Amino acid sequence: MAKRRVETMEENRAKLIAAARKAFAKKGYSAASMDELTAEVSLTRGALYHNFGDKRGLLAAVVDQIDSEMASRAQKIGARAGNDWQGLLAEGAAYIEMALDPEVQRIVLLDGPAVLGDPSRWPSQSSCLQVTKRTVERLIAQGLLKPIDAEAAARLLSGAALNAALWIAASDDPEDVLPKAIQAFRSLAAGLLVNPV
């Protein structure tokens, strides 16, 4: 019986996140109605409050899901790049490029920071930071990067990619900003190399 209740709670949580993701992408956080959202998945506001506390908690869950998907996609792209250095550059560029996706733009890069505050404090960003830190540590051990503090370098690289994505999302012409942002990200990262290319 308890197992079934846990499964139902998880199903309800997943339904609410999916409905919220759709509503936030279409209407934006502030215009999305919690009554419409819960009615769409045949649940009550009580289920929403029980699972997320409030609308802000629901946004945090949606942002976490999308941001985690973005990080996973970027890491897969980086893994196909051939080596750690090319992977680091490809991963950063992929993350920046995702700022062109309307759902990412509206939910993660515009509404997320406005409602949830500093993205560098989000759990999904912390997880991404740890992956970048491990890559930086490997590159330092391989003698490719200068012997600097790996966490500091990872924070600056992650921050550069995130801020580039935020810039694109807020831009009047995201397509024009994208190549500039990626080129600048690559140049900044290259400054960490022992022998810059």
How does pLDDT run across 120-138, given as a tens digit for each residue?
Answer: 888 888 888 899 999 999 9
What is the value of pTM for the model shown? 0.89
Task: Tell me which residues of the chain have a pLDDT lower than 50.
Answer: none
Q: What is the pLDDT of residue 2?
A: 63
Which alpha helices (DSSP H) does 41-149 contain, by range? 45-52, 55-79, 84-97, 102-103, 112-116, 123-141
Residues in the chain, overall count: 197
Q: What is the pLDDT of residue 112?
A: 94
